[in-house]
Amino acid sequence: MPIELPSSLTFEALGSVGVLRLSRAAKRNALDDETVNGLGHFFRQVPDGIGAIVLAGDGPHFCAGLDLAGASATPDLLHGILHSRLWHRAFHDIQFGRVPAVCVLHGAVVGGGLELAAATHVRVAEPSAYYALPEGQRGLFLGGGGSVRIPRLIGTQMVMDMMLTGRTLSAEQGQTAGISQYLTPEGGGLAKGIELARQIAANAPMSNFAIIQALPRNAEGDPGTGYFTEALMAGAAETSPEAKQRLADFLAKKAGKVTNT
């Protein structure tokens, strides 16, 4: 059944990979409530047969962050808090969804756009990508989970610097800081994102589930609970029929080796 999406989001299935695009280029893919809700809705209902998602942006920029037109109309404190919680729900469903997401970054990746990218699992950047958190300049604060996720990527001091001084990071600096894991030539981001998503989709689904659900929780939680959860996930993965087949293939010399590419 086709997923109903707002006009600001476009979905295309490419075999085992789904490509979801922010498609509100005229407003630089600024995130209004409809788009944020649409993102959550999509990641809760990733179609069967899709093993990984590529998230990209139409037009000259990945995402200009929060739609400032909508934000300027927030009537009171409670609505402001609830608005942030709406983002939290949607981005939680990206980070802890059924399948991993690869994000392709180009142009402005700012404010809520960087928060969105931080909720995905692998980030690919083109040289035009640049990163900023202009919340301080706009009289705002992070509201899409960025104060939790972005320091874990690049460190609290760097986030503080970006927010206090309005510092912008280039694609190269973002790569060094840990925002992106891959840097491609200009225009090569989508192809790289799809290539990575295909590799991810070829993994056993139980392994991918454990990687996106258990790994970050174990890395950030208390070690005792982490080791216990790890054991549960390891057992679940190891005893899955898919693992049995893959291990048998390796032992029968029918599976690929790990090579130094």
Closer to ligand 1HE by CB, 17 or 103: give it. 103
Q: Closest by alpha carbon to 119, among 90, 88, 95? A: 95
CB of 81 to ligand 1HE, least distance (A): 12
Q: Are 55 and 20 in contact (CB under 8 A)?
A: yes
Catalytic site residue from 4, 135, 172, 186: 135
Partnered with residue 132 across adjacent β-strands are: 110
Alpha-carbon distances, residue 6 vs 38, 44, 110 (angstroms): 6, 15, 22
In this structure, which amino acid lies at residue 138? Answer: R
Radius of gyration of the chain (CA): 19
Is 40 a binding residue for ligand 1HE by CB under 6 A? The answer is no
Concatenating the DSSP letter of every residue in 67-106 gives -HHHHTT--SHHHHHHHHHHHHHHHHHHHTSSS-EEEEE-
CB of 27 to ligand 1HE, least distance (A): 4
Query: Does residue 135 carry a catalytic annotation?
Result: yes
Q: Are 132 and 150 in contact (CB under 8 A)?
A: no
Crossing angle of helices 223-238 and 205-220, rounded to 10° = 170
97 to 126: interface string for ligand 1HE, x by CB under 6 A: -----------x-xxx--------------
CA distance 205 to 212: 11
Query: Does residue 115 carry a catalytic annotation?
Result: yes
- Span interacting with ligand 1HE, options 59-67, 151-159, 212-220, 222-230, rule CB under 6 A: 59-67
130 to 169: interface string for ligand 1HE, x by CB under 6 A: ----xx--x-x-xxx-------------------------
Crossing angle of helices 205-220 and 241-251, rounded to 10° = 100
Q: Are 24 and 30 in contact (CB under 8 A)?
A: yes
Is 68 a binding residue for ligand 1HE by CB under 6 A? The answer is yes
CB of 31 to ligand 1HE, least distance (A): 7
Of 64, 116, 129, 169, the residue at the interface with ligand 1HE (CB under 6 A) is 64
27 alpha carbon, distance to own chain's centre: 21
Catalytic site residue from 4, 12, 34, 115: 115
Is 30 a binding residue for ligand 1HE by CB under 6 A? The answer is yes
Closer to ligand 1HE by CB, 28 or 192: give it. 28
Residues at the site binding ligand 1HE, with contacts judged by CB under 6 A: 27-28, 30, 60-61, 64-69, 87, 108, 110-112, 134-135, 138, 140, 142-144
Active centre residues (catalytic): 115, 135
